[in-house]
A = this chain, B = another copy of it.
Amino acid sequence: MELFKLRGYTGTTVEEIASRAGLTERTFFRYFADKREVLFSGSATLQKLMTDAITGAPPGTSPLDAVAAALDASAAALEQRDERYVRARRALVGAHAELLERELIKLASLASAVADALRRRGVTEPAASLTAEAAIGVFKVGFERWLDDKKARGFSWHLRAALDELKTVLGSGNAGAPATSRATTPRPRRSPRAHE
């Protein structure tokens, strides 16, 4: 991380990373599949955390409540980390497409694992995959909004808020929609937030 801050991600060579760790480049590639993977060692733990939460939910729990528990578990873990690291890492990943790609495939594999856990509970397709995808969508949106939040509400708060909002949008189907009474004057728009 220090090296990345110093010379940027692309400006840092694998050999530099390795020698900083007292290793050679070749040995680096025996520990990490590629250069990007150094930044994604935590994804396995997160996955285990969430699937365990689903597997451990009391029988009879609805799929929706099971993934809600998984989201709670992820929030507890992430809120506990050093916020400066979380922010630095997010800025780095957001600034480099190759890192964003890796992040997305990790999240996709997370969704796949969540769907697996749901199926192991007896949830059928396509409900399992859809619930899992929805959960990851909530995670992504909640995560971004957490870090952008001026009033420092917690990650778990944002996850809950996002999940509730998603329920509303897919329920009535009109959440967040502009009031349709006076169609001639457009409603004042909120400033668009970059979402990557």
Contacts and interface: CB of A to CB of B under 8 A. Distances in A.
Interface of A: 59-60, 62-65, 68, 97, 100-102, 104-105, 108, 112, 115-116, 119-131, 133-134, 136-138, 140-141, 144-145, 153-154, 156-157, 160-178, 180, 182-183, 185-190, 192-193, 195-196
Given A59-B180, A105-B100, A178-B123, A134 B169 contact: yes
Contacts of A128: 176
B169 A63 contact: yes
A161 B119 contact: no
B126 A196 contact: no
Contacts of A144: 129
Do most interface residues of chain A lie in helix, strand or loop, or is the interface mixed?
helix
- Output the residue of A63, A180, A195 with the most chain B CB within 10 A: A195
Q: How many copies of this chain?
A: 2
B187 A62 contact: yes
A126 B104 contact: no
A62 B173 contact: yes
Contacts of A131: 166, 169, 176
Contacts of A136: 137
B164 A167 contact: no
